[in-house]
Structure 1
């Protein structure tokens, strides 16, 4: 069975998804609180997210090779993440998925997985 990494188009597909995700974050005014939490410029975080998603989707484990285990929840603990920020993150991701993933079954699978991941990052009520 092909991994999501292969199904999305490999490195280029993951890069497209990340680009659209952060482009949404930069331009959508309703997600300004989410955008404001991110270090600027977004170049480094865009690249780190690509590296993370590469391995997360079943491709090369670029993030782990560079930084070790992702420990996502621990890495995000300094940032106050509540359900509103999670919803803002998912809005950006939903739009990025629609723009870049043509295969509906894959898009739905990724949306569900991203929603679970984003829910796990909530650390404030």
Structure 2
């Protein structure tokens, strides 16, 4: 019986997740719709949280839950007006992150499917 490999391992682990997240936040930093949704002047802590969340979600270390508990994504984002437009901006930057990671087409499709559903799920206002 062979070893079971997680999606996290298949895509290259933490190095790949960091590439995606670093590229994502480079876009967010310059985005007039997204940047105001991040109250911290330094985006580093937000990037670290997203890195740890994605690593755990895809089968990597459980550091996110050890530090922050259950993700409770909708609750954590409730203070922010996540509009359909904001979700599209978020996806634009995530797309750039996935492109930078140079995943296989199958891996890219799996990751993109998750994030597009997540972006839609996080919309909490239509205005």
The two structures have a TM-score, normalised by structure 2, of 0.90
Q: Paired residue for 1:37?
A: 37
- What SS is found at the alignment partner of 1:14? helix
Equivalent residue runs for 1:64-75 within 5 Å: 64-75=65-76
Q: Paired residue for 1:105?
A: 106
Counterpart contact for 1:8–1:101, Cα < 8 Å = no
Counterpart contact for 1:24–1:96, Cα < 8 Å = no
For these two proteins, the number of residue pairs brought into alignment is 122
Instruction: Output the CA distance in 1 between the equivalents of 2:11 and 2:116.
Output: 18
- Are 2:11 and 1:8 aligned? yes
Deviation string 1:27-72 (CA, Å, 9 cap, x unpaired) is: 4xxx311112112210111111111111011111111010100000
The two structures have a TM-score, normalised by structure 1, of 0.92
Counterpart contact for 1:4–1:57, Cα < 8 Å = yes
Instruction: Output the CA distance in 2 between the equivalents of 1:45 and 1:76.
Output: 12
Quote the offset at 1:20 in angstroms.
Answer: 0.9
Quote the offset at 1:5 in angstroms.
Answer: 0.7
Counterpart contact for 1:51–1:62, Cα < 8 Å = yes
Rg larger for: 2
RMSD in angstroms over aligned alpha carbons?
Answer: 1.2
Structure 1: segments with no counterpart, 5+ residues: none
